[in-house]
C-alpha cells in the first residue's frame, strides 16, 4: 500500500483545512475507503480522520420540526432509533437492508452517502476505468455489465451508485449540510451526486476540503410515515447491493393520493428521483392502473448500457410493488427481511 500521512484534527475547521490539501481524503469508519486503499484503487497522500470530531454524532429534532442527523451517526444507530424508524420508516428499512449488521454498526451516515461505485472494473486496477484513471477507457462498456446503469449513463461511465440509504432520502427531499473552505452551505441530496458526463472521476459536487457535517430531513418528510416502503431486489436476500430498488412514499387522504414520492436505486450514478412518475400520482386513487402508469413514466428515459435491458422491466415491476405496499400501509414493524420482495406482506407483525 502506498505510504500516507494520518492526521486526527480536533475541530471541524481544522479537518476542513487539513483535507483541502491535494491528495487528502476524509476517513470515517473506513469500511469503503480502506478496502479501496488496500486494493490500490484509492491512493491518498493523507487521511484526515474525522471520527473523533465533537457534535457530529447527534440525531436531533430542530425547532421547525426537521430532523438533523450528524454525519458520524452510525447506520445501525440511526435505523434502530425508535422515533426515527416511526417517522421515516422507509429510510430505516433501507438502512437495515444494506450490508451486514457488523458493517452497519461501523458505517457512518456521511460515508454511506459518499461510498464509491461497486463496478468490478473500478476495483480491478488491471482494467481500464475512466472513474479511477480519467481518459483510460471503460472496460465495463463491453464487459460484464448486467448490474450497470440504465439511466443517466454516458459512454464515459455506466456505473451505478450503490447506497440504499440515499434512495428514500432523496425521495423525502433530504438536505446535506457541508462545511467547506468558504464556510457552511447546504445542498439538496438530489444535487449532491453527479451523473458521469465526460468527467466520471467526480462522483459528487463536493470540492476539496468539503466535509459533510449533517443530513437534514424537512418537516414535510414525516407526513409520509403511514405509507412508506423501500423495496430492494438483490442477488441474495441478505448482504448484497441492490440490482434495482425503489423507495415509495404516499400521502393518502380520504382514499386519494394527495402527494407521492418515488426514487430508484441501482439504476444510475445517483439515487434517481422519479418526479414525472410522482406527478402522475397526484390526486388519483391508489389503483394498480395508476401505479403501472407511474412505473412507465419513471423509466421512460431508460436505455440499456449493455446486457441489462432486464433492469428496465425489473425496475418497473419494483416501482409497482413498492407503491402497492406503500398504499397498503407501513407495517407496524420493519419486516424481518427488510426491503425484501420475499418478506411477508405489509402490516404483518414480525416479532
Ligand atoms: C461487504 C460490503 C457490503 C455492503 N453492502 C451495502 C449495501 O447493501 N447497501 C449499502 O448502501 N451499502 C453497502 N455497503 C457500503 C457501506 O454502507 C459503506 O461502506 C459505508 O456506508 C461507508 O461508510 P464509512 O463511514 O465506512 O465511510 P468511509 O469508508 O470512511 O468513507 C467513504 C467515503 O466517504 C468519504 N467521507 C466519509 N465521511 C465523510 C464526511 N463526513 N464528509 C465528506 N466525506 C466523507 C471518505 O473520504 C470516502 O471517500 C457495503 C460495504 C461492504 C464492505
Ligand atoms: S462503468 Fe465507470 S466505474 Fe465501471 S469501468 Fe466504466 S468508467 Fe470505470
**What is the DSSP track for 206-240?**
PPTT-EEEEEEE-GGGGGGTTSEEEEEE-SSSSS-
| Any atom of ligand 2 within 6 Å of the Cβ of 169 | no
Residue of 45, 114, 160 best suited for mutating to test ligand 1, as the one with most atoms within 8 Å of CB: 114
C-alpha cell of residue 254: 380520504
Give, for ligand 2, the residue of 36, 118, 120, 121 to mutate: max count of ligand atoms closer than 8 Å to Cβ.
121
Domain 226-328 class, CATH top level: alpha beta
Task: Take atom 48 of ligand 1 and give the residue whose Cα is closest.
Answer: 33
For the Cβ of 116 lying below 6 angstroms from any atom of ligand 2, the answer is no
Report mean pLDDT in 10-residue bins for the chain, 351 residues: 94 98 97 97 98 97 98 98 97 97 98 98 98 98 98 98 98 98 98 98 98 98 98 90 98 98 98 98 98 98 98 98 97 89 58 33
pLDDT of 346 reads: 52
Give the pLDDT confidence score for residue 237 in this predicted structure.
80
Q: What is the pLDDT of residue 336?
A: 85
Quote the pLDDT of residue 347: 47
Residue 222 near residue 320, CB atoms below 8 Å: no
Whether 212 lines ligand 1, by a CB cut-off of 6 Å, is: yes
* pLDDT value of position 350: 35
Question: What is 261-288 written as a DSSP string?
Answer: EEEEESSSSS-EE-HHHHHHTTTB---H
Q: What is the pLDDT of residue 345?
A: 53
The C-alpha atoms of residue 142 and residue 140 are separated, in whole angstroms, by 6
What pLDDT, on the 0 to 100 scale, is given for residue 343? 78
Tracing cell 433492469 back to the chain, one arrives at: 311
The CA distance from 342 to 164, in Å, is: 18
Burial class (CB in 10 A: 0-12, 13-18, 19+), 185: exposed
Amino acid at each position: 500500500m502506498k505510504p500516507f500521512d494520518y492526521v486526527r484534527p480536533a475541530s471541524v475547521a481544522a479537518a476542513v483545512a487539513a483535507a483541502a490539501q491535494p491528495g487528502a481524503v476524509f476517513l470515517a469508519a473506513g469500511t469503503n475507503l480502506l478496502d479501496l486503499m488496500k486494493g490500490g484503487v484509492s491512493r491518498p497522500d493523507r487521511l484526515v480522520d474525522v471520527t473523533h470530531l465533537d457534535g457530529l454524532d447527534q440525531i436531533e429534532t430542530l425547532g421547525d420540526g426537521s430532523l438533523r442527523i450528524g454525519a458520524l451517526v452510525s447506520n445501525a444507530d440511526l435505523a434502530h432509533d425508535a422515533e426515527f424508524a416511526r417517522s421515516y420508516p422507509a429510510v430505516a428499512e433501507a438502512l437495515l437492508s444494506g450490508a451486514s449488521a457488523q458493517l452497519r454498526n461501523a458505517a457512518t451516515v456521511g460515508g454511506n452517502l459518499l461510498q464509491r461505485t461497486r463496478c468490478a472494473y473500478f476495483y480491478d486496477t488491471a482494467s481500464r476505468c475512466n472513474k479511477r484513471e480519467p481518459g483510460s477507457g471503460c472496460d465495463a462498456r463491453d464487459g460484464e455489465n448486467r448490474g450497470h446503469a440504465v439511466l443517466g449513463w454516458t459512454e464515459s461511465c455506466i456505473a451505478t451508485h450503490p447506497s440504499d440509504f440515499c434512495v428514500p432520502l432523496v425521495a423525502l427531499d433530504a438536505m446535506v449540510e457541508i462545511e467547506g473552505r468558504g464556510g457552511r452551505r447546504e445542498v439538496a441530496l438530489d444535487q449532491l451526486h453527479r451523473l458521469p458526463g465526460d468527467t466520471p472521476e467526480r462522483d459528487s459536487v463536493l470540492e476539496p476540503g468539503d466535509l459533510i457535517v449533517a443530513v437534514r430531513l424537512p418537516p414535510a418528510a414525516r407526513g409520509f410515515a403511514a405509507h412508506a416502503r423501500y423495496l430492494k431486489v438483490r442477488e441474495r436476500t441478505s448482504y448484497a447491493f441492490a440490482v434495482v430498488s425503489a423507495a415509495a412514499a404516499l400521502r393518502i387522504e380520504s382514499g386519494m393520493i394527495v402527494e407521492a414520492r418515488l426514487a430508484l436505486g441501482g439504476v444510475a450514478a445517483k439515487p434517481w428521483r422519479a418526479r414525472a412518475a410522482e406527478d402522475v400520482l397526484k390526486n388519483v386513487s391508489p389503483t394498480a392502473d395508476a401505479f403501472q402508469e407511474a412505473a412507465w413514466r419513471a423509466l421512460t428515459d431508460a436505455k440499456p448500457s449493455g446486457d441489462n435491458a432486464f433492469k428496465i422491466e425489473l425496475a418497473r415491476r419494483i416501482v409497482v410493488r413498492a407503491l402497492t405496499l406503500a398504499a397498503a400501509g407501513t407495517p407496524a414493524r420493519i419486516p424481518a427481511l427488510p426491503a425484501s420482495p420475499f418478506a411477508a406482506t405489509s402490516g404483518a407483525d414480525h416479532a
